[in-house]
């Protein structure tokens, strides 16, 4: 892969069995998503059903330093994995629960809508999007 000799490792994570190929000659212990800590750069990761495949397509040197995007209003919150799983499952069931109050308003055509109607429409759209998102990486979160 990419002219590097690779080794294969396997693991189970998030309810899936994964195969991971890493290049020991690249002494970077990193990879895509949450895959890391192998004795070399991870070049490819795939689950046994090949629903999810991460593959490094190229490596290039850069003369400039990478500048991370400025994320506004970022606040770090420390929670346990069970707390995260519960919050994730609650969001999938009731995605509009975190929306505060929306005032009644008229749209561009002058049609009056209550804040409650707007929130219901937002929730309907979010639930439709979530229903299509049925192949998440960590399928254990859906249990």
Tens-digit pLDDT profile for residues 80-117: 999 999 999 999 999 999 898 999 999 889 999 999 99
Domain ranges of the chain: 7-55, 81-142
Number of C-alpha atoms within 13 angstroms, CB side, residue 65?
3
pTM exceeding the 0.75 threshold for the entire prediction: no
DSSP 3-state helix, strand, coil percentages of the chain (rounded to 5)? 25, 20, 55
């Amino acid at each position: 892969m990419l002219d590097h000799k690779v080794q294969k490792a396997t693991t189970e994570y998030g309810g899936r069995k994964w195969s991971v190929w890493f290049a020991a000659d690249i002494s970077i212990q990193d990879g895509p998503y949450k895959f890391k800590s192998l004795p070399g750069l991870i070049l490819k990761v795939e689950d046994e059903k090949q629903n999810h495949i991460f593959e490094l397509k190229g490596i290039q040197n850069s003369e400039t330093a990478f500048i991370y995007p400025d994320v506004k209003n970022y606040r770090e919150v420390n929670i346990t994995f069970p707390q995260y799983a519960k919050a994730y499952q609650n969001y999938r069931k009731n995605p509009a629960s975190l929306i505060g109050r929306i005032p009644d308003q008229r749209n561009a055509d002058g049609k009056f809508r209550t804040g409650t109607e707007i929130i219901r429409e937002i929730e309907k759209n979010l639930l439709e999007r979530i229903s299509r998102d049925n192949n998440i990486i960590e399928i254990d979160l859906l249990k």
